[in-house]
Amino acid sequence: VGHPVVTADWLNARGRSTLLIYGHYDVQPPDPLDQWKSPPFEPAIRDGYLYGRGAADDKGQMFVHVKAIESYLRTSGSLPVNVKCLFEGEEEIGSHNLYRFLAGRREAWKADAAVLSDMWMLGPDRPAIAESLRGALSAELEVRGQDRDLHSGNFGGAIHNPLQTLCEIIAKLHDSRGAIAIPGFFDRVRDVTPEERAYMARVGPGDALMLEDAGALLGWGEPGFSLYERTTIRPALSVNGIVGGYQGPGAKAVIPARAAAKLNFRLVPDQDPDEIDALFRRFVEQITPRTVRVLVRTLFRARPFVLHREHYAVRAARAALRKGIGVPPEFMRIGGTIPVAHLLQEELGIPTVLMGFALPGDRLHAPNERFLLSNFFRGIETSIHLLAELARL
Amino acid sequence: VGHPVVTADWLNARGRSTLLIYGHYDVQPPDPLDQWKSPPFEPAIRDGYLYGRGAADDKGQMFVHVKAIESYLRTSGSLPVNVKCLFEGEEEIGSHNLYRFLAGRREAWKADAAVLSDMWMLGPDRPAIAESLRGALSAELEVRGQDRDLHSGNFGGAIHNPLQTLCEIIAKLHDSRGAIAIPGFFDRVRDVTPEERAYMARVGPGDALMLEDAGALLGWGEPGFSLYERTTIRPALSVNGIVGGYQGPGAKAVIPARAAAKLNFRLVPDQDPDEIDALFRRFVEQITPRTVRVLVRTLFRARPFVLHREHYAVRAARAALRKGIGVPPEFMRIGGTIPVAHLLQEELGIPTVLMGFALPGDRLHAPNERFLLSNFFRGIETSIHLLAELARL
């Protein structure tokens, strides 16, 4: 069951280093379909962009590296370094089969460096290498009260409504300033140096651009940090959904027997998802009133990723981007989570470089996903240079 | 559009009083369907109970009076008083068409007394007449944030999540003791005398029974009042439902652009639904952070009802219950709302008696609603006696 892991290798560059190229060929669901200007699974070119689901995330960017390998093999007939390709089909649903696939094959998948192009540049002509990714912890919080749904006329005022209780618990997870209120939550958050923050302020998006990208008028969150910082070097907790009580049109006088919320933490070094899970559970227990029971189900855990900035593969990637795009790359911090980056670097021990060719506004996960074709071609050049640079080091 | 108001009358008792019999043939939705032991719309008899949606609320109880009339007409061929039947099909959704129907027909629907059996007894062999009903105010509270759904990895920590904000607003509607926190909300709440409270303590359900009926282990709410008092002579606010964000299985990293809750107030004399609506809206405005916009939509308003305890129709009903059930009735306060009771008594000027034959535990509005068949038959006898008693007075 599941989508196969697709592999390929070329290991004839004796004495040279080995590059693992990761990509994923699965995509997010295309819904809502009616918002696509052309069918999501019929690639269409308009104004220099290729439109379609997966154009950027990640089929198009994965294909960049395939075309680079093809270029080498069709011209010189060989590659300058050894290459292992690892293409999975379940990235968007948790990569479970990839973990299983690699579990017994760690030796076979050893490499000196890995490259992933499942991300975007800072802007047109602003190539970037990912400096960090946040980790994640997803959980479901269920509040159970009385053993059946009640009529809110007959019982309103006498029974602690589980849906209200859920709201009260959620409201206590942040303090009034917008910081997460779980005791101990920040204990392991690594301070970022003033120099690094100054670098972020210089190259990263400002608050105005972040708000424009979000379609929001005002920012919010932990005091003392820019919006870019709040979404990258600081942890976050989001409520992703609540289910409870009557969901239809009009009114229904019900006190539901239970209510549940889906919560999503984003974690930064050196937070440990398991430790945060325990702190979260303990705090929820503390703030849960005796009138209800609470169940916490952990759905997903992923560790943060931090680039090995001084590794020679990073130097090679920087040189390749400078040559391929024509501009030296910057270091970019990312708020999202790519568990496979942690898997490759920390579990398989392969220094990993994330560099992408998509652009902000390419609508990854949304309707009318696209990929700028000129970036596709510049990406191929960059990948060719990466292989050459790795051979040189 | 809508379900028709069904009417009938028998007006041949010259010089005798006129009784208006009200009932409703519409029912609550049967969901959740999987919790029904037999299909909700296929009546099933088990252990002396009739099971099905509407068995008690209100088809079964409405039918009690139809059978009483039938008994008279089939035996003596006439009724001892004049009777007007008013059966509507939209009680559960606000009775809008009934109001419209009666608007131009006030004269035609004059009567000396009205009876409704849309309620329950205090217990087996404990008949009751409703002393009071709470009023209601239903509203939808919608929180709108940024103009599109966002990825909680990329934006978590920087944008005030509308779903979280909704929880924060809801959490502020009650204080930490369980009392409603809206300024001015209690200003018009009428004090109930110590004698009345002593009567309530004597005849009404104790906390233990209330909790058993609710399937709850602990009570909750406004300090200084019993659970029976909290649900009858004190107002309440319940969250009936929340819709926001991802509702499916597993996790989805979304910060939804909007979230909404359905809220339901229960009001007591002399609270005015319009005034409470204004106080609620003002408070919500005060506690809404600048990061989001809030929309309040009022769905429904109803005034509280108080029995005209000394009216002769109440004496007739007491005598009828004593004879029909075999036990003198008590006065019961009800937490729910029956807007038509206020409509009949205050707007049409007809002293109105609510007396029911359902039992606590008959699961009105819930799965496995039922009606004890022996109470159905004793109800018919009671209704027959009511007609006779009204003829005597």
Residue among B29, B84, B66 nearest B344 (CA): B84
Confidence of residue B294 (pLDDT cuts 50, 70, 90): very high
- Closest residue, chain A, to B238 (C-alpha): A156
Contact A314, A390 (CB under 8 A): no
Average pLDDT over residues B366-389: 97
> Which of A214, A240, A245 is the closest to B146 by Cβ?
A214
The verdict on a CB contact (< 8 Å) between A253 and B236 is no
B167: chain A residues, CB-CB within 8 Å: 166-168, 170-171, 239, 242
Distance CA A312, CA B9 (A): 95
Instruction: Please give the C-alpha separations between residue A145 and each of A136, A171, A253, in angstroms, as whole numbers.
Output: 29, 18, 16
Rounded CA separation B170/B230 (Å): 20
Give B312→chain A minimum CA distance, Å: 28
User: Closest Cα to residue A186, out of A255, A265, A132, A239?
Assistant: A265
Cα A4 from Cα B379, distance rounded (Å): 69
> Which structure tokens are listed for B282?
């003002």
pLDDT tier for residue B61 given thresholds of 50, 70 and 90: very high
pLDDT of residue B364: 86
Is B130's pLDDT higher than 90? yes
Tokens of B250: 């597993």
Burial of A309 (0-12, 13-18, 19+ CB in 10 A): exposed
The 10 Å Cβ neighbour count of residue A252 is 24
Chain A residues touching residue B154 (CB < 8 angstroms): 231, 334-336
pLDDT band at B220 (very low <50, low <70, confident <90, very high): very high
User: What is the rounded CA–CA span in Å between residue B55 and residue B362?
Assistant: 9
* Residue B392: predicted pLDDT: 87
Could you tell me if A78 and A12 are in contact, meaning their C-beta atoms sit under 8 angstroms apart?
Answer: yes
Long-range contacts of residues B199-207, Cβ cutoff 8 Å, at least 24 apart: B199/B331, B200/B226, B200/B228, B200/B229, B200/B232, B200/B233, B200/B333, B201/B226, B201/B228, B203/B122, B203/B330, B203/B331, B203/B332, B204/B122, B204/B228, B204/B232, B204/B332, B204/B333, B205/B122, B205/B360
* A242: closest chain B residue by CA: B244
- CA distance readout (Å), A252 to A55, B94, B258, B281, B334: 45, 11, 21, 20, 18
Distance in angstroms (rounded) separating the CA atoms of residues B140 and A245: 13
Identify all chain B residues contacting A254, using CB atoms and an 8 Å cutoff.
240-241, 365
In sign, the C-alpha dihedral spanning A374, A379, A380, A386 is positive
SS3 of residue A379 by DSSP: helix
- For residue A383, give every residue at least 6 positions away whose Cβ sits within 8 Å of its Cβ, in sequence order, or none: A64, A65, A67, A68, A69, A115, A320, A324
Pinpoint the alpha helices (H) of B182-306: 194-203, 207-214, 227-230, 273-287
Q: What is the pLDDT of residue B252?
A: 86
pLDDT bracket for residue B15 (50, 70, 90): very high
Mean pLDDT, to the nearest integer, of B84-94? Answer: 93
Peptide bond connecting A274 to the previous residue in cis, omega within 30 degrees of 0: no
Q: Any CB–CB contact under 8 A between A298 and chain B?
A: no
Model pLDDT for residues A235-265, shown as the tens digit of each residue: 999 999 999 999 888 888 899 999 999 999 9
Of B159, B163, B366, the CB nearest to A214: B159
Strand partners, A123: A126
pLDDT band with cut points at 50, 70 and 90 for residue A361 = confident
Residue B305 has pLDDT above 90, yes or no: yes
The 10 Å Cβ neighbour count of residue A326 is: 12
Average pLDDT of the residues in A372-392: 97
- Give just the sign of the alpha carbon dihedral B296, B300, B301, B304: negative
pLDDT of residue B1 exceeding 90, the answer is no
- pLDDT value of residue B255: 95
pLDDT at residue B32 greater than cutoff 90: no
DSSP A48-95: TEEESTTSSTTHHHHHHHHHHHHHHHHHTSS-SSEEEEEEES-GGGT-
Q: What is the mean pLDDT of chain A?
A: 96
DSSP B159: S
The answer to whether A255 contacts B238, with C-beta atoms less than 8 Å apart, is yes
Cα A355 to Cα A10, A72, A149, A320, B80: the distances in Å are 22, 20, 52, 11, 91
B14 pLDDT tier (thresholds 50, 70, 90) = very high
A255 Cβ neighbours under 8 A, 6+ residues apart: A145, A146, A149, A150, A151, A152, A155, A156, A159, A161, A162, A163, A245, B238, B240
Suggest the residue from B150, B242, B298, B338 to mutate for an interface test with chain A (most A CBs closer than 10 A): B242
Q: Which of B287, B262, B58 is nearest to A156 (CA)?
A: B262
pLDDT tens by residue, A307-318: 999 999 999 999
Q: Is A35 on the interface with B (CB under 8 A)?
A: no
Both tokens of A273, joined, read 């998802």
Task: Work out the percent of chain B whose per-residue pLDDT is above 90.
Answer: 90
pLDDT grade for B93, boundaries at 50, 70 and 90: confident
The answer, for A134 touching chain B at a CB cutoff of 8 Å, is yes
A chain contacts of residue B216, beta-carbon cutoff 8 Å: 145-147, 159, 291
Chain B: nearest CA to A173, how far in angstroms?
10
Question: What is the dihedral angle through the alpha carbons of B371, B374, B378, B383, rounded to the nearest 10 degrees?
Answer: 40
Q: Is B234 on the interface with A (CB under 8 A)?
A: yes
Question: Which chain B residues have a beta carbon less than 8 Å from that of A266?
Answer: 152-153, 156-157
Q: How far apart are CA A264 and CA A368, in angstroms?
A: 26
Beta strands B18-24 and B113-116 are: parallel
- CA–CA min distance B205, chain A (Å): 12
Name the closest residue on chain A to residue B179, using Cα atoms.
A157
Q: Cβ separation of B163 and A254 shorter than 8 Å?
A: no
Q: In angstroms, how far is CA B22 from the centroid of its own chain?
A: 15
Q: Is B354's pLDDT higher than 80?
A: yes
Chain B residue numbers with beta carbons less than 8 Å from the beta carbon of A158 are 210, 214, 219-221, 227-228, 230-231, 236
Q: ipTM > 0.85?
A: yes
Instruction: State yes or no: pLDDT of A393 exceeds 90.
Output: no
Q: Which residues pair with A143 in a beta bridge?
A: A259, A294
Pull the structure tokens for residue B262.
């359905």
* Phi, psi torsion values for A256, nearest 5 degrees: -70, 150
pTM given for the model: 0.90
* Partner residue opposite A158 with nearest CB, options B157, B231, B264: B231
Percent over 90 (pLDDT), chain A: 91
Residue appearing with tokens 């008013």: B86
- Band (pLDDT 50/70/90 cuts) for residue A226 is very high
Task: Express the helix, strand and coil content of chain A in percent, nearest 5 each.
Answer: 30, 25, 45
Q: Does B15 touch chain A (CB under 8 A)?
A: no
| Phi, psi for residue B298 in degrees, rounded to 5 | -80, 125
The whole-angstrom separation of Cα A178 and Cα A151 is 35
Residue type, A33: L
Residue A271 reports pLDDT greater than 90: yes
- Residues of chain B in contact with residue A210, where contact means CB-CB under 8 angstroms, are 155, 158
Stated as kind and residue range, the H or E segment containing A260 is strand A258-267
Cβ proximity of B160 and B292 under 8 Å: yes
State how far the Cα of A17 lies from the Cα of A11, in Å rounded to an integer.
Answer: 10
Which member of A149, A155, A219 has the closest CB to residue B231? A155
Write b or e for each residue in B309-348: b if 16 or more Cβ atoms lie within 10 A of its Cβ, otherwise e. Answer: eebbbbebbbbbbbbbbeeebbbbbbbbbbbbbbbbbeeb
**8-state DSSP, B42:** S
Distance in Å, alpha carbon of A384 to nearest chain B alpha carbon:
30
Q: Which of B334, B340, B338, B318 is nearest to B390 (CA)?
A: B318
C-alpha to C-alpha distance for B103 and B86, rounded to whole angstroms: 14
Contact call for residues B129 and B352 (beta carbons, < 8 A): no
pLDDT tens profile A83-134: 999 999 999 888 989 999 999 899 999 999 999 999 999 999 999 999 999 9
User: Residue B2 has what pLDDT?
Assistant: 87
Whether residue B165 lies within 8 A of chain A, CB to CB, comes out as no
Give me the pLDDT at residue A251, please.
86
What are the pLDDT digits (tens) for B39-56? 999 999 999 999 999 999
Tens-digit pLDDT profile for residues B161-206: 999 999 999 999 999 999 999 999 999 999 999 999 999 999 999 9
Q: Please give the Cα distance from B211 to A302 (Å, whole number).
A: 43
Instruction: Among A145, A150, A219, select the one facing B159 at the smallest CB separation.
Output: A219
Interface test with A, best of B96, B120, B167 (most A CBs within 10 A): B167
Cβ contact B367:B32 at 8 Å: yes
Across the interface, whether the CB atoms of A163 and B246 are under 8 A apart is answered no
Q: Does A174 touch chain B (CB under 8 A)?
A: yes
| Chain A: residue whose CA lies nearest to B227 | A158
pLDDT band at A156 (very low <50, low <70, confident <90, very high): very high
**CA-CA distance, B298 to B141, in Å (whole number)?**
9
Flag whether pLDDT at A388 surpasses 80: yes
Q: How far apart are CA B190 and CA B292, in angstroms?
A: 36
Q: Quick one: which of A31, A32, A29, A11 has its CA closest to A20? A: A11
Neighbour tally for B295: CB within 10 Å: 12
Name the minimum distance, in Å, from the CA of A104 to any CA of chain B.
27
Helix-, strand-, coil-residue percentages of chain B, each rounded to 5 = 30, 25, 45
Report the pLDDT averaged over residues A132-161. 96
Give CA–CA dist A91/B15, Å, rounded. 84
Residues of B in contact with A300 (CB under 8 A): 251
User: What is the pLDDT, as a whole number, of residue A366?
Assistant: 86
Contact B81, B43 (CB under 8 A): no
Check residue B11 and give its pLDDT: 97
